[in-house]
Amino acid sequence: MPTRVTDRAYQSLLRTLGLLKQAMEPHFARFGISRPQWAVLANLNRAEQEGQEGLCLHDLGDRLLIRPPSVTGVVDRLEREGLVARSQTEGDRRLRRVRLTPAGRALRKRLLTVHARQIRKVMSGLGAREQTTLADLLDRLGTHIRTLTPPASSKSKES
């Protein structure tokens, strides 16, 4: 049974994550996308920078820590908007990779012009030292939680 301190910390974390979502959704909506769509665009861009020619849905889901069926809906919407494209992989015609389109790269670049300012605005409730402490604590908690859960890829294989 959780202690009062543990319960309070957990509830505060959940509440803060909800408030963060509320603060960031309008930021992304100004660009016609959602927070999950931004996460896909950012991860596809990161994959390009790593020299990869797109990502398959499974790998994208692993990066986002969500299951492939959830990724599919987000990618479908981005594809309809012309921000990403799917293409078959040479050697395995069943495997399709998702890539940024020029329009997706341009949107990402436009959004980044104001993104850092939005993040600074959100985080301005804490001083620099407090932000460092928060990052350290969240990193420690994340490391611990990873020991409690199987990787996303093994979850999707079990389903």
Read off the pLDDT of residues 81-140 as tens digits, 9 standing for 90 and up.
999 999 876 666 667 899 999 999 999 999 999 999 999 999 999 999 999 999 999 999
* Prediction pTM value: 0.82
- Spatial neighbors of 70 by CB under 8 A, at least 6 apart, are 61
What pLDDT is stored for residue 87 in this prediction?
87
Tally of CB atoms within 10 A around 68: 19
In angstroms, rounded to a whole number, what is the distance separating the alpha carbons of residues 40 and 55? Answer: 10
Tokens coding 68: 């492939």
May I ask the CATH architecture of the domain 20-124?
A: Orthogonal Bundle (1.10)
> Rounded to the nearest 5°, which phi and psi values hold at 15?
-65, -45
Q: What is the DSSP letter of 121?
A: H
In angstroms, rounded to a whole number, what is the distance separating the alpha carbons of residues 14 and 2? Answer: 15
What pLDDT is stored for residue 102 in this prediction?
97
Domain positions in the chain are 20-124
